[in-house]
């Protein structure tokens, strides 16, 4: 993935699995902020991140036609922003990546899965707010 340096504008390639870590710009050595937005991923990126991430991961299974998913999106974005550097937030479009939805037995959306070191810590369907999502991630980190 590409992170842009806020100081010099240089584009820096950072492995997706290390997106929660603080890196340095290759040009000016200024610190690069960790990813603070949800990452839209497919099976390849998903597997890489889950296998290598050192922080808890929230996965939001969603679809464009889903009203509750659209209402959950700002809550998911807020959690990504609030926990930048301490957690990663992934979004999986169930229409485009049905194999991932099947792997996690997603039967209703929005469906949330919290992973830690590749293992499921919690999962469930239904609309929840950012406070609940944050609590799940913080419990997984403890």
**Residues spanned by CATH 3.40.30.10 within the chain?**
39-141
Catalytic residue among 5, 8, 28, 66: 66
Per-residue pLDDT of the chain (142 residues; tens, 9 = 90+): 778 888 899 998 887 666 777 788 999 999 888 888 899 999 988 998 898 888 999 999 999 999 999 999 999 999 999 999 899 999 999 999 999 999 999 999 999 999 999 899 999 999 999 999 999 999 999 8
pTM surpassing 0.75? yes
Question: Which superfamily does 39-141 belong to?
Answer: Glutaredoxin (3.40.30.10)
Catalytic residue among 5, 8, 28, 69: 69
Q: Is 69 assigned a catalytic role?
A: yes
3-class SS letters over 35-99 = CCCCEECCHHHHHHHHHHCCCCEEEEEECCCCHHHHHHHHHHHHHHHHCECCEEEEEEECCCCHH
**129 within 8 A of 75, measured Cβ to Cβ:** yes
């Amino acid at each position: 993935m590409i992170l842009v340096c806020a100081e010099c504008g240089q584009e820096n390639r950072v492995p997706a699995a290390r997106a929660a870590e603080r890196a340095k710009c290759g040009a000016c050595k200024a610190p690069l902020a960790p990813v603070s937005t949800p990452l839209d991923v497919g099976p390849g990126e998903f597997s890489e991140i889950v296998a290598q991430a050192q922080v808890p991961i929230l996965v939001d299974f969603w679809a464009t036609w889903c009203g509750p998913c659209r209402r959950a999106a700002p809550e998911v974005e807020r959690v990504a922003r609030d926990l930048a550097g301490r957690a990663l937030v992934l979004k999986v479009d169930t229409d485009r990546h049905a194999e991932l939805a099947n792997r996690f037995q997603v039967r209703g959306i929005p469906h949330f899965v919290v992973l830690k070191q590749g293992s499921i810590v919690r999962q469930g369907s239904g609309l929840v707010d950012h406070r609940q999502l944050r609590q799940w991630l913080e419990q997984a980190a403890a």
